[in-house]
Amino acid sequence: MTEAPRRLRRAEAVLQRRTGRVLLVLERAVDCFNHLAVLRTAEGFGIQNIWIVDNPLAEERSERTSHSVTKGTHHWLSIRYFQSPHDCLTALQDEGWTICATDLGRTAEPLSLSTLLPFPEKMAIVMGRESDGVSKLMLEAADRRFYLPMQGFGESFNLTVATGLMLQYVFLACPEAHGDLSETQLAELRQDWYRKLASNQERWEEYRQWLSSPPEPEPDLRPEDAMRQVRMPKKFRKNSK
C-alpha cells in the first residue's frame, strides 16, 4: 500500500486527541454566531460530543453562515439535539454524567484547577443562554456549579470566551481526558471522517482501504508555513498588506 494521504494522517492525529470523557451542553443559546463560535471553540479543544438544547436557530442557519464562523469544524462533531432542558437532563442522568453548570450566583464555586479536582469519570459542562445563563432546572440538578472570576465592571464573559476559559481549565486539570475514545468509537468516527474527506467515489475507494490499517498520525497538527492559508475576508486583505 502506498503512503497515506496527509489528510488521513492529519485525521488520525485529531482522532488520537479526541475526548469522550468531557461533554459540552449548550443550553438555549439564542445568538446564531455565538452558537457557531462555541462549536468551533469546543472542536479546537478536542471535544467530540456536544448536546444542544432548545435552539430553533441551530437547524435553520445556512451552511454558508455555518462554515464562515466554524471554518468547517462543525462537520467533525457528534451533535445531539434536545427540545427542552428536561429532556437533556434526563439523558444526562440516565448516562451517569457528573453535571457541572456555569452560574453567576453567589453560591457558585470559583473555577480553578483545585476546585475541579478530583476530576469525575464523566463530566458534562453546561453553558447557558447569553441573557440569563443556565436554566433553573439544570442548575438545581447540577452536581457542581462554577463561575469564572472577573476583575472588571462586566458581569460575565461573552459565551464563546467563557466556554474557551472553562475548557482550558478542564483540560489543564485533566490532560489525560484527551485521547480516551474506545477502539469502537475511533472506528466509527474514522469511517465517517474518511468518507467526508473523500471528494468523490474514486477517492473514497482509495481511502477506505486504510480503515482496517490506519496510517500513522501526523506528529504536528499545525500546517507547514508554506501551506498556511490567510484566514481573512477578501475585502480586508488589501488593507492588511
Amino acid 3: pLDDT: 87
| Statement to judge: residues 155 and 94 lie in one domain | yes
CA distance linking residue 116 with residue 177, whole number of Å: 13
Amino acid 33: pLDDT: 85
Has residue 201 been placed in a domain? yes
| Statement to judge: residues 24 and 8 lie in one domain | no
Amino acid 238: pLDDT: 59
Amino acid 240: pLDDT: 58
Report the relative pairing of strands 144-147 and 49-53 from DSSP bridges.
unpaired
Neighbours of 104 (CB within 10 A): 15
| Statement to judge: residues 156 and 214 lie in one domain | no
Has residue 202 been placed in a domain? yes
Domain CATH for 69: 3.40.1280.10
Instruction: Show the cell assigned to 12.
Output: 488520525
| Statement to judge: residues 118 and 200 lie in one domain | no
| Statement to judge: residues 190 and 96 lie in one domain | no
How many CA atoms lie within 13 Å of 222's alpha carbon, on the beta-carbon side? Answer: 3
Amino acid 111: pLDDT: 96
Stated as kind and residue range, the H or E segment containing 172 is helix 159-173
Amino acid 228: pLDDT: 63
| Statement to judge: residues 48 and 157 lie in one domain | yes
Q: Structural domain tally of the chain?
A: 2
Residue 9 belongs to domain spanning: 1-18+181-221
The last residue of a domain, from among 141, 156, 177: 177
Cell 480503515 appears where?
211
Instruction: Show the cell assigned to 15.
Output: 482522532
Has residue 31 been placed in a domain? yes
| Statement to judge: residues 156 and 113 lie in one domain | yes
What parts of the chain have a pLDDT lower than 70?
1, 55-68, 226-241
The pTM of this model reads 0.88
Phi, psi values for residue 145, rounded to 5°: -130, 125
| Statement to judge: residues 140 and 151 lie in one domain | yes
| Statement to judge: residues 69 and 133 lie in one domain | yes
Amino acid 217: pLDDT: 95
